[in-house]
C-alpha cells in the first residue's frame, strides 16, 4: 500500500502540536510534502522543524500542486469552509478542524461539494477516536442490544472545561500578526450574539458530537438557557431526554464527562484534557442487578489526535467514509443553530 501525500494549511498552536506533529509521526502512511501559511517567517521555521520540503503563501498555491492528494486544514473557524471549498474543487481530500463551519449554510455547501467531487471530507472531532470513548461506544451498543441494564432513561453531557493543555511544549512562534477573519454567521442571529455563538460553537460542538456518537441521533431541542456562565440545553432523544451542562471554570483538571443512565445502571465516560497525550478516557459501568458491581475496563494507551490522523489516512488509502464525516458534522452545526434559536425565541416570549 502506498503513502498519502499530504499538504498542510495553517501552522498555529493546534496546527503544529495537535495535528502536524502527528501526521509527521505517521510516516509509514503519509508524507507531509507542503505547508501553506501566510505568515512567511513562521511557515519557513515550522517547515524546517518538521522537514517539510515545500512552503506556500496560501492554500491556493497548495491546491495547484499535483503532488498533493489530501489536505489537512487547521485554520480559524471562519476559514474552514472557504478554504475547504477551493481544496475540494481541486480534487483533494480534506480533513479540517472542528467545527465544520460557523453557519449551517456554509457547512452544507462543503458537504455537497465533497459529495459532488467524490472526495473525503472529515472534521476533527478527535474525541470519537479516543480509545476509552471507542470502548464505551461498544459497551453502550451491547447493553442497548441485550437489554441487560434495561432501557436508557437519561443521557447527560457535562463540560465545564479547565486546564486543557497540561503543560504541553510551546509551538514555534514569530511576532507576525495572524490574518483577520470575518466569519459568516446565520442570517437570523442578532449581531450582539455573534461572539457568544462563535465561542459556544467552537468549544461545545464537541459535546453535541460526542453525545450523538455514543447514544444516537438527536430529535430536537426541548429547552435552552444560555443566559448564565453555565449553559443548560435539554435534548429530545426520541423516548428519553438528554441534558448538556456547558460552561467554563478555572480548574487544574479537565472537567468533562458523558453519562448514559439505564433503568438498572449506567455507563460513564470521563474524557481527558485534549492535549494530554497517551491518556485515554476513563470508563465506568455500574450494574444494579442481582449482584451489584462496578466495572472499569482499561482501554489501551493512545492519544485521540494521533488516532484521528491515522483514521483520516486510512480512509483515503482504503476508500472508507470517515467516522466524523462532513455530512455527520453538519448535524452538529444544525443543532447548535437550533439551540440558539430556541433560546432567543423563549427569551422574546418571556419579555412580552
Give the pLDDT confidence of 136-155 residue by residue, as tens digits.
999 999 999 999 999 999 99
C-alpha 215/C-alpha 152 separation (Å) is 9
Does a cis peptide bond (omega within 30 degrees of 0) precede residue 99? Answer: yes
Instruction: For strands 265-270 and 220-225, give the pairing.
Output: unpaired
User: Is pLDDT of 58 > 80?
Assistant: yes
Query: With contact defined as beta carbons under 8 Å apart, do 48 and 32 qualify?
Result: no
Sheet holding 292-295, edge to edge: 220-225, 230-236, 241-247, 152-162, 254-262, 265-270, 282-288, 292-295
SS3 call for 177: coil
Give the pLDDT confidence of 225-255 residue by residue, as tens digits.
999 999 999 999 999 999 999 999 999 999 9
Give the pLDDT confidence of 314-340 residue by residue, as tens digits.
999 999 999 999 999 999 999 999 999
Query: Nearest-5° angle of CA 144, CA 145, CA 146?
Result: 95
Arithmetic mean of pLDDT, 258-285? 98
pTM: 0.97
C-alpha 38/C-alpha 45 separation (Å) is 13
**What structural domains does the chain harbor?**
4-127+307-324 (3.40.50.720), 130-302+334-351 (3.30.360.10)
Mean pLDDT of the chain: 97
- Among the listed residues 68, 77, 83, 86, the one whose alpha carbon sits nearest the alpha carbon of residue 30: 68
* Chain-centre distance for alpha carbon 352: 38
Cell 522543524 found at? 49
Confidence grade of residue 352 (pLDDT, cut at 50, 70, 90): low
Beta strands per DSSP E along the chain: 4-9, 30-36, 54-56, 70-73, 93-97, 121-124, 152-162, 220-225, 230-236, 241-247, 254-262, 265-270, 282-288, 292-295
The percentage of the chain sitting over the pLDDT mark of 70, rounded to a whole number, equals 99
Q: What's the pLDDT at 1?
A: 62
165-169: long-range contacts at Cβ-Cβ below 8 A with a sequence spacing of 24 or more?
165/273, 165/274, 165/275, 166/273, 166/275, 166/276, 168/17, 168/275, 168/277, 169/17
Q: The C-alpha cell of 305 is what?
A: 489526535
Confidence grade of residue 347 (pLDDT, cut at 50, 70, 90): confident
Amino acid at each position: 500500500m502506498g503513502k498519502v501525500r499530504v499538504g498542510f494549511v495553517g501552522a498555529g498552536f493546534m496546527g503544529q502540536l495537535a495535528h502536524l506533529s502527528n501526521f509527521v509521526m505517521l510516516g509509514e502512511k503519509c508524507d507531509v510534502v507542503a505547508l501553506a501559511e501566510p505568515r512567511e517567517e513562521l511557515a519557513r521555521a515550522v517547515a524546517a522543524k518538521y522537514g517539510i520540503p515545500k512552503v506556500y503563501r496560501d492554500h491556493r498555491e497548495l491546491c495547484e500542486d499535483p503532488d498533493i492528494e489530501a489536505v489537512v486544514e487547521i485554520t480559524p473557524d471562519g476559514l474552514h469552509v472557504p478554504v475547504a471549498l477551493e481544496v475540494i474543487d481541486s480534487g483533494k481530500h480534506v480533513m479540517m478542524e472542528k467545527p465544520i463551519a460557523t453557519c449551517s449554510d456554509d457547512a452544507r455547501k462543503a458537504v455537497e461539494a465533497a459529495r459532488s467531487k467524490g472526495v473525503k471530507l472529515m472534521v476533527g472531532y478527535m474525541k470519537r477516536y479516543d480509545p476509552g470513548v471507542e470502548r464505551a461506544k461498544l459497551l453502550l451498543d451491547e447493553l442497548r442490544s441485550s437489554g441487560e441494564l434495561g432501557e436508557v432513561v437519561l443521557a447527560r453531557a457535562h463540560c465545564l472545561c479547565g486546564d486543557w493543555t497540561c503543560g504541553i511544549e510551546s509551538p514555534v512562534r514569530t511576532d507576525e500578526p495572524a490574518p483577520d477573519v470575518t466569519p459568516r454567521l446565520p442570517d437570523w442571529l442578532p449581531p450582539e450574539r455573534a461572539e457568544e455563538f462563535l465561542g459556544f460553537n467552537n468549544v461545545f460542538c464537541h459535546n453535541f458530537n460526542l453525545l450523538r456518537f455514543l447514544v444516537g441521533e438527536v430529535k430536537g431541542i426541548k429547552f435552552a438557557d444560555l443566559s448564565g456562565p453555565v449553559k443548560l440545553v435539554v435534548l429530545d432523544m426520541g423516548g428519553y431526554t438528554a441534558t448538556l451542562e456547558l460552561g467554563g471554570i478555572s480548574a487544574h483538571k479537565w472537567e468533562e464527562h458523558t453519562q448514559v443512565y439505564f433503568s438498572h445502571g449506567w455507563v460513564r465516560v470521563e474524557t481527558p484534557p485534549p492535549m494530554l497525550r497517551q491518556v485515554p478516557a476513563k470508563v465506568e459501568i455500574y450494574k444494579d442487578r442481582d449482584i451489584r458491581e462496578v466495572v472499569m475496563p482499561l482501554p489501551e494507551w493512545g492519544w485521540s489526535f494521533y488516532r484521528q490522523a491515522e483514521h483520516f489516512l486510512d480512509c483515503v488509502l482504503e476508500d472508507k467514509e470517515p467516522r466524523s464525516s462532513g455530512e455527520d458534522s453538519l448535524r452538529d452545526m444544525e443543532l447548535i443553530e437550533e439551540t440558539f434559536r430556541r433560546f432567543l425565541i423563549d427569551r422574546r416570549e418571556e419579555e412580552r
